[in-house]
Amino acid sequence: MATKREHTEESTSATKRVKMENGNGKLDSANNPYLAHWNDDKTASADALADFRRHATTAEQASAAEDGPLNPFTGRSLSNRYMGILKKRRELPVHKQRDEFLKLYQENQILVFVGETGSGKTTQIPQFVLFDDMPHKSAQMVACTQPRRVAAMSVAQRVAEEMDVELGEEVGYSIRFEDKTGPNTMLKYMTDGMLLREAMHDNNLTRYSTIILDEAHERTLATDILMGLLKEVVLRRKDLKLIIMSATLDATKFQKYFHNAPLLAVPGRTHPVEIFYTPAPERDYVEAALRTVLQIHATEDEGDILLFLTGEEEIEDACRKINLEAQDLIREGGAGPLVVYPLYGTLPPAQQQKIFSPAPPPTQPGGRPGRKCIVSTNIAETSLTIDGIVYVVDPGFSKQKVYNPRIRVESLLVSPISKASAQQRAGRAGRTRPGKCFRLYTEEAFKKELIEQTYPEVLRSNLASTVLELKKLGVEDLVHFDLMDPPAPETLMRALEELNYLACLDDEGELTTLGSLASQFPLDPALAVMLIVSPEFYCSNEILSLTALLSVPQIFVRPANNRKRADEMKDLFAHPDGDHLTMLNVYHAFKSEEAQANPKQWCHDHFLSYRALQQADNVRMQLKRIMEREELELMSTPFDNKKYYENIRRALVAGFFMQVAKREGNGKTYTTVKDDQSVLLHPSTVLGQDSEWVVYNEFVLTTKNYIRTVTSVKPEWLLDIAPNYYDIQSFKKGEIKTALQRVATKVQRKEAEKGKR
Amino acid sequence: MTQSDEEDDYMNMVFEDAPKGPTHETALQRAARKRKEGEARARQKTKAEREAEAEEARETALATALPETNKGFKMMAKFGFKQGDTLGKSENARKEPIQVSIKEGRSGIGVESEKKRKLREAWDEAARAAKRSKEEEGDYLEERKQHLKEKKMERDLDSAQRTAERLSGQEDEDKGGQPKEEKQLKDVNVLWRIRARRREEKQRDLQQKKELDNSLTSRLPTLANDEDEEDDDSKVALGRDLNPFYTSLETELEPEDPELADFEGLPVAERLHEVLVFLREKYKYCLYCGYQYPDAAMEGCPGLTEEDHD
């Protein structure tokens, strides 16, 4: 009861404030020319929303306002297209429960909302909130977070259309390195990571009246941290409302975590899905998957196929093979036409869009119907909804990020999916009509070998960056920070240690000036530190470019059918000292006049990803802005100076001194410093010469241990630039310690000689 | 199993009573050792060796928790963190990082465990087979022994039957009865009737052989009158004389003897037993003493069976 009273008080105070503003507006607009636009806005929108009392509206009222004729938020007349969309919107499952939703929303500060994919929750719930919360009246916003950038962008676009407004005006989005919002924005779709960054500057998130965490079941790192944070913020800000939206029914975990918040569930529009298991385990899951797809195509009724595989290479390969085999089927077995589309994160958006094109028509009138087959990573599992899928083929694997603090490796590994994931995949077959899901494992394996839930990202990530953010957010006691699934203590231990070596935290665990500065950059701490200290090495321009290049997907393209040519092209840019410098050469060439004349063609000719380079250019611009804001000097060593590349390599050491490996004897094998892991240089490296010491960007775990993106460095630099980390006393007895000792003695002797002279 | 193998491991190369070498190595030995060690160091490891080493190093590192000397630990201790604690506020937070398991190849879900299961099954099967073969080994010896024993018993039975027949023949002669040859098969005591039967069969075989020889000689081309020299078959075929046909049929017919069949169906041990008992009771004869005792007490004979005579 107490909470209810609180809310009524709040709503009255809110209405009071609104009234006052209205009053002021009327008063001032007459004689204050600066506030003239207030008047326009208010009179226009007052038509529909004037009688709305905040947190006391009904679905009926909202529907009336939606019907127009004027747009209740802009006051402009509504288009025909809007009316068409509105009709469809009202058929969505969530619409039936609008009143129920509003009641719970009004009565509670926190609400857990469960709606299966297809219920319309992502697009509709924020709009329901707008009509009741009316954030614009208090100059606030409603935020709706998405785990993926693409989703944030596409949903914002869709909702802008539904509300008949311009994207970037009333409805906008904000993702890393791109902000499409304006002063009128009242509904903001954003990545969860962006909201977390905003919280760093505004610990109470005062710009927002309601925060919706969408796709919370995906349990991304940022969503988990946000939940921990918002759990505290709601105690400080009683006027802030929080909605947790999840697509799976295990929402009780969310309820429990948020002090038994009420739950509202909306059924999705799903049809039954029949599940088939294999009688025995499959020896080769890709082979089995291809066989299954072709069998479906040859024998099953009309309906599209969705096959889940693990990665780009595997998917492209499978697409090729299915295409070939399908040709035979069509020719010999009289099967209908089959079109195969790949789908994975790094695929250009235009090609991603292809998956929505309809299945091909029969080859001749009256012939067997055509079919499309989508071969996808697990992005088709939750985030993308493809209609027309009737058959799902699930080999039971996905690529998952794994982090282990003991050997400090963060890698994408092919791992078995969870039961929850398998169910989600199966559900994809029942979107349009009853479907079938073919699991390429036995029922017993499903029961015994698959874990219940996929591990949340927070358990599988390096937390250095998160710890820095939390420190910046003012969370002092990280040990007792209330995460839904706290990671192993060692993960936090390692993160704190790394930040200490990077001088972002002092020995007491307090944020240093450098740490505070590093937290301003949306980058990994090592990259941020490298960028911040780069002026000391007279190469901040170059390090800025390099940081941008390391923050985007792979810039080198190596198509399976043209590897040799691609490698030849890469050799044009190769720098003998390593991959970082090679990437820099590519970027400089890309920015040259010759390339910029027709950058797309130039990239194509040189086997480079135009999209990645363009993105790097954009990231560079954003980072440059932050550097300018933080008054970090941008400078370069003259290119003809022989120290040009050396300075860059030294700056690289300043950030990546914890990612160094030394060659074992004269062999090919390297050993990582401190962790003593035996690694090989990734075959993609250009590093040709014998380099005893290298810094690496990534430790990749496959059946072999690889280090990727490597550049040769001098051991003297390590001792000079990171003396804390390269404290020889702290090293285990072994080849590396001996080598470092030798270097230290040499350096001392040299200095002594200098001293004599 | 392994235990007992270790116990009597005759391949063991450790000579416990071998003389101990000198405790200090000589300069020569040291030089040799150094050289060997150097060679071992300088040798390029094979790819497989390197991979195995890398994997081992990785697994070791993965199994080793960060020590308390870690700087991060000290920062956490400031907030009351102790070794063995978990983070956050939930009760069942994790203590250990998630296991890193690297998938090799494209085997489907369940293949690994299926492999393990199969391996375990094969192992169990091998263990069972080993056990069984051991049992079978014992069985074989046992069987062999039994076989030999039976053979011996058969021999004993044969001689016991011969003796019984002889003694009974003597008795018949003493009584002035028919000699054994003229006795009808069914009148012979079933205990040794088989002997008489075998004899008869042998006789018949000889007879048939003789007849065959005769008929062969008769078929040899002669210039004599064909009419009279026709063999039995021809006669039968021509329907002039059907007698030979019936006689040969008759002789070929085995007379039914259920009594003999019953007796011969018994195990050799029982048959032997019965004959031995018969010999003792009727003739006070012991096969193993090889002696016909004068009185029923059979004083001096240790018993019925061979074992009694050991």
Instruction: Give the ipTM of the model, two decimals please.
Output: 0.76
pLDDT tens digits for range A89-131: 998 888 989 999 999 999 999 999 998 777 888 999 999 999 9
pLDDT tier for residue A7 given thresholds of 50, 70 and 90: very low
The CA distance from B50 to B47, in Å, is 5
pLDDT tens digits for range B44-71: 777 788 778 878 888 888 888 888 888 8
pLDDT tens digits for range B134-185: 777 777 788 888 888 888 888 888 888 888 888 888 888 877 765 555 567 7
Contact flag B111-A449 (C-beta cutoff 8 Å):
no
Q: Where are the alpha helices (DSSP H) in chain B?
A: 2-7, 27-42, 47-63, 71-77, 111-175, 190-219, 226-229, 232-238, 243-252, 258-265, 268-283
Question: Higher-confidence residue: B231 or B108?
Answer: B108
Residue A402 has its nearest CB partner, among B71, B96, B100, at B100
Q: Where are the alpha helices (DSSP H) in A183-311?
A: 192-201, 221-236, 252-257, 285-299
Whole-prediction pTM: 0.72
pLDDT tier for residue A417 given thresholds of 50, 70 and 90: very high
The CA distance from A382 to A378, in Å, is 8
Q: How far is CA A646 from the centre of its chain?
A: 34
Query: Cβ distance A226 to A198 under 8 Å?
Result: no
pLDDT attached to residue A641: 92
Contact flag A477-B102 (C-beta cutoff 8 Å):
no
Q: Where are the domains of chain A?
A: 59-266, 273-458, 463-630, 659-755
- Of A41, A37, A42, the C-alpha closest to A22 is A42
* Token pair for A498: 């790394």
pLDDT attached to residue A238: 93
Residue A489 has its nearest CB partner, among B85, B100, B107, at B85
Burial of A138 (0-12, 13-18, 19+ CB in 10 A): middle
pLDDT tier for residue A5 given thresholds of 50, 70 and 90: very low
Which top CATH class is A463-630? Answer: mainly alpha
pLDDT attached to residue A305: 94
Q: How far is B12 from chain A (nearest CA, A)?
A: 37
pLDDT attached to residue B263: 85
Looking at chain A, the whole-number percentage of residues with pLDDT higher than 70 is 93
Contact flag B109-A441 (C-beta cutoff 8 Å):
yes
Contact flag A449-B110 (C-beta cutoff 8 Å):
yes
Q: Does B67 contact A at CB distance below 8 Å?
A: no
Residue A414 has its nearest CB partner, among B75, B97, B103, at B103
Could you say which DSSP state residue A392 is in? Answer: E
* Token pair for A67: 């019907």
Contact flag B58-A407 (C-beta cutoff 8 Å):
yes
Q: How far is CA B304 from the centre of its chain?
A: 31
pLDDT attached to residue B179: 59
- Lowest model confidence (mean pLDDT) among A137-141, B133-137, B240-244: B240-244
- Of B112, B110, B120, B99, the C-alpha closest to A449 is B110
> Most confidently modeled of A597-606, A688-697, B28-37, B273-282?
A597-606
Superfamily of domain A59-266: P-loop containing nucleotide triphosphate hydrolases (3.40.50.300)
Could you say which DSSP state residue A556 is in? Answer: B
| Through-space distance between the first and last CA atoms of chain B, rounded to whole angstroms | 38
Q: How far is CA A681 from the centre of its chain?
A: 28
pLDDT tens digits for range A198-239: 998 898 999 999 999 999 988 999 999 999 999 999 999 999
Residue range B193-216: mean pLDDT, rounded: 82
> Most confidently modeled of A43-52, A569-578, B193-202, B214-223?
A569-578
Instruction: Name residue A699's beta-bridge partners.
Output: A707
- What contacts A593, CB < 8 A, 6 or more positions away? none
* B219 pLDDT more than 80: no
What is the radius of gyration, based on Cα positions, of chain A?
29
pLDDT tier for residue A278 given thresholds of 50, 70 and 90: very high
**Strands A338-343 and A110-115, bridge-based pairing:** unpaired
Nearest-CA residue of chain B relative to A499? Answer: B72
* Token pair for A155: 């949903």
Question: Higher-confidence residue: A34 or A400?
Answer: A400
Question: Higher-confidence residue: B249 or A455?
Answer: A455
Q: What is the mean pLDDT of chain A?
A: 88
pLDDT tier for residue A19 given thresholds of 50, 70 and 90: very low
The CA distance from A678 to A669, in Å, is 7
Residue B78 has its nearest CB partner, among A286, A481, A509, at A509
* Token pair for A727: 């404290």
Residue B106 has its nearest CB partner, among A286, A413, A492, at A286
- Lowest model confidence (mean pLDDT) among A338-347, A363-372, A491-500, B214-223: B214-223
Q: Does B111 contact A at CB distance below 8 Å?
A: yes
Nearest-CA residue of chain A relative to B97? Answer: A488
For residue A287, which residues of chain B lie inside 8 Å, CB to CB?
A: 106
pLDDT tier for residue A142 given thresholds of 50, 70 and 90: very high
pLDDT attached to residue A538: 95
Would you tell me which residues 183-202 of chain A have a C-beta closer than 8 angstroms to some C-beta of chain B? none
Q: Which helix (H) or strand (E) holds A189?
A: strand A187-191
Could you say which DSSP state residue A450 is in? Answer: S
Q: Does B79 contact A at CB distance below 8 Å?
A: yes
Q: Strands, DSSP E only, in A444-577? A: none
Q: Does A443 contact B at CB distance below 8 Å?
A: no
> Most confidently modeled of A285-289, A328-332, B39-43?
A285-289
- Lowest model confidence (mean pLDDT) among A142-146, A420-424, A510-514, A526-530: A420-424
The CA distance from B163 to B174, in Å, is 16
Would you tell me which residues 684-743 of chain A have a C-beta closer than 8 angstroms to some C-beta of chain B? 701-705
pLDDT attached to residue A30: 52
Please provide residue A464's backbone torsions phi and psi, each rounded to the nearest 5 degrees: -55, -50
Phi-psi region of A683 (alpha: psi -120 to 50; beta: other; left: phi over 0): alpha
**Fold annotation for A273-458:** Rossmann fold (3.40.50)
Amino acid, single-letter form, for residue A416: P
Q: What is the mean pLDDT of chain B?
A: 77
- Lowest model confidence (mean pLDDT) among A32-41, A54-63, A711-720, B201-210: A32-41
- Topology agreement, domain A59-266 and domain A273-458: yes
Q: Which helix (H) or strand (E) holds A678?
A: strand A678-681
Q: How far is B128 from chain A (nearest CA, A)?
A: 26
